[in-house]
């Protein structure tokens, strides 16, 4: 997984809208050609985890990097878990 960019987190802070992290655990396995992620897929069930909201109450732009990293770590941890 690549590092997240700041835009969505800046927007969440500016609009006081919480972040809802979602992990798609097996999407990579559903693609026939792993080099072309916009190409054809195989049949199968997508495993999705909807995490708890991350509040942005009382955050400002100086908290942006921490918010971005917290969200990344939450999703990355789930991707690395067995289930």
Distance, in Å, from the CA atom of 5 to the CA atom of 29, rounded to the nearest integer, reads: 25
Residue 2 lies in a domain: no
Reduced to 3 states, what is the DSSP secondary structure of residue 59? coil
Reduced to 3 states, what is the DSSP secondary structure of residue 7? helix
Residue 1 lies in a domain: no
Quote the pTM value. Answer: 0.83
Residue 70 lies in a domain: yes
Residue 64 lies in a domain: yes
Domain count, the chain: 1
Domain that holds residue 60: 7-80
In the chain (83 residues long), the average pLDDT of successive 10-residue segments reads 94 97 88 69 88 96 96 96 76
Residues 68 and 9 sit within 8 Å (Cβ to Cβ): yes
């Amino acid at each position: 997984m690549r590092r997240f960019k700041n835009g969505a987190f800046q927007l969440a802070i500016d609009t006081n809208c919480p972040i809802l992290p979602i992990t798609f655990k097996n999407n990579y396995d559903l693609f026939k050609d792993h080099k072309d992620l916009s190409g054809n897929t195989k049949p199968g069930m997508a495993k999705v985890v909807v995490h708890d909201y991350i509040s942005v109450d009382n955050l400002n732009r100086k908290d942006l990097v921490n918010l971005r990293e917290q969200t990344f770590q939450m999703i990355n941890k789930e991707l690395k878990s067995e289930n």
